[in-house]
Structure 1
Amino acid sequence: MKIWYQSYVDAENAGGYWDALQAHLDAVKDPGTEVVIHGITPHDSYAHPIVEFRCAREVICNAVRAEREGYDAFIIGHFQDAGLYEARSVVDIPVLGMGEASMLQACQLGQRSGIVTINRRYIPWFHHQIGKYGLGQRVTGVHAMDFQPGQILAAFGSDERLGEVAGLFEAQAKPLVRDGVDLLIPGGGIPMLLFSQLHDHRVDGAPVINGIPIVLKQAEMQVKLRALTGLGVSRTSDFVKPPAEVIEEFMTHPKGL
């Protein structure tokens, strides 16, 4: 099994993040699974919907490339899941989003979940995401720290910086737990990977979700189910597949025009 893992950080700016991410993926994948990380240039360095929109276009194109190059599944390793539905509509291989996978898994572990994102500009996006997935009664709160996506990368390799970020996360998470949240979800792949160093991470008894192994295991499961039963996405509404020439036009049209 070969899986394309789409990071929203490019190789030039990843620093030790990609190395840590690859090691984490390799540690949790099934024997025989190969996970290949791919980035986006320019990467998602500023929290804003227009950046998500720009990255989404490249993600959709990369999902098509992944299928054409023989990958078995495509993972959007970015909690905002920008381009998720559109990518599902143009390829037949499973397409998984970290945000959706994390929220759905949290629903099996507790009745109510809360998200702590890295920047308050993501809060409206997450509320739209929660509504899109029909989880408004299950994911009931979104709080934020105050980082740009690129800034939190500096915490990798520094125990002191890890402790600082964990403390800021906890400060935002505690009010959510007091309001009745059972599970806590870091709103991003970067903080999830950072906190993966904290075994059985909890805040006031509420488990902190690491969506990286969750989305990878869901991708492996969907590939296996497709092989066993032929199960794939519905093509009746949201994921209706366009004609091949429309996909090709999207792939070849100049970016930004």
Structure 2
Amino acid sequence: MRIWYQSMTRAEAWPAYAAALQRTLAAAADPGTRIEIHGITRRGGIGDQYRSLEFIETIEVLENVARAEAEGFDAVLLGNIADPGLRPAREMVSIPVLGLCETALLTACQMGASIGLVVANDKHQSRVVENVTLAGLGGRVVAVERMQVDRLVDLDAAFAGGAARDRVIGQFMAAAEACVARGAEVVIPAAGVAMILLAEAGIQDAGGGAPVLNASVALLKAGEMAVKLNRLMGGRFTSRRRTYAQPPPGQIAELRAAYGDIFPRIVPS
């Protein structure tokens, strides 16, 4: 199977993370799974904790989702904790589209009864909590703590080790332990870059037996499962009832005249 992994990072701004993400996903993939990692190339890729900047980047993300389907990929994985464009993407294409935050939360629910989130900074917190509410899992999240990474690209230097890595890991562990003290049974590092950094550092326990979830790997494995289910279900993995319903064939010609080559698999009637 072919999986398109969409990062919200610009490769030249995050070179160490890009290499680490490639290593992590390649090691976790099933035999026969081919993963292509794509980042942001046109505008942005360094500050998506700000909503307006995330919006700008999401335009490229949605264009890439359409490209992935056109090029024959079997699924798209949105590897950003904000799940940018997740719901519009599911409406657009016939292949499964999964998001990092939603997948992390659903996986954590299978690992423990209560969840703790460690966000990068104050700005990121409200965005992540909104996703928790959208997933209907507010009752399962018992704690949200934060690190002090106000400039997200500073995380890239931590992959080189030394004081930069020790500082980030120390901040994470203090926040994770606070989550556990508040009742969390599973802790999610709520930043994709931090997940990979912690995984490479071997951080898997938040204390007291509470696991630390590397949701990037969980996203990959969920993506592989979604592809298999989609095949078994005859391409019906994504519901076309209400939320992800597509335009009826009788309207598609009119919509394409206004919007361009949208919903290419719909045959006009």
TM-score scaled by structure 2?
Answer: 0.88
Q: CA deviation at 1:157?
A: 2.0
Give per-residue Cα distances to partners, 1:95-151, cap 9 Å, x unaligned: 010111111000001011011011110111112111100001112222211212211
What's the RMSD between the two structures over aligned residues? 1.9
Paired with 1:188 and 1:59, the residues of 2 have a C-alpha distance of 18
Aligned to 1:166: 169
The question of whether the paired residues in 1 share the 8 Å contact of 2:113 and 2:140 is answered with yes
- Tell me the number of residue pairs that the alignment of Structure 1 and Structure 2 aligns: 253
Paired with 1:248 and 1:90, the residues of 2 have a C-alpha distance of 17
Structure 2 unpaired stretches of 5+: 263-269
Paired with 2:60 and 2:240, the residues of 1 have a C-alpha distance of 22
Aligned match for 1:52, one of 46, 54, 66:
54
Letter paired with 2:63: C
Q: CA deviation at 1:248?
A: 8.3
Aligned to 1:143: 145
Paired with 2:227 and 2:252, the residues of 1 have a C-alpha distance of 23
Structure 1 unpaired stretches of 5+: none
The question of whether the paired residues in 1 share the 8 Å contact of 2:39 and 2:45 is answered with no
Greater shift, 6-15 or 198-207, is seen at 198-207
Q: CA deviation at 1:44?
A: 3.2
Aligned to 2:265: none
Paired with 2:256 and 2:10, the residues of 1 have a C-alpha distance of 25
Is 1:179 the counterpart of 2:182? The answer is yes
Paired with 2:217 and 2:197, the residues of 1 have a C-alpha distance of 13
Give per-residue Cα distances to partners, 1:130-185, cap 9 Å, x unaligned: 11000011122222112122111111121442222111011222222111111110
| Identical pairs, percent | 38
Paired with 1:244 and 1:192, the residues of 2 have a C-alpha distance of 41
Aligned match for 1:235, one of 240, 262, 267:
240
Greater shift, 123-132 or 142-151, is seen at 142-151
Aligned to 1:28: 28
Letter paired with 1:209: L
Regions of 4+ moved over 6 Å: none
Aligned to 2:230: 226
Q: 1:87-106 alignment to 2 at 5 Å?
A: 87-106=89-108
Distance verdict in 2 for CA 1:251–1:166, change over 3 Å: farther
Aligned to 1:43: 44
> SS at 1:214's partner residue?
helix
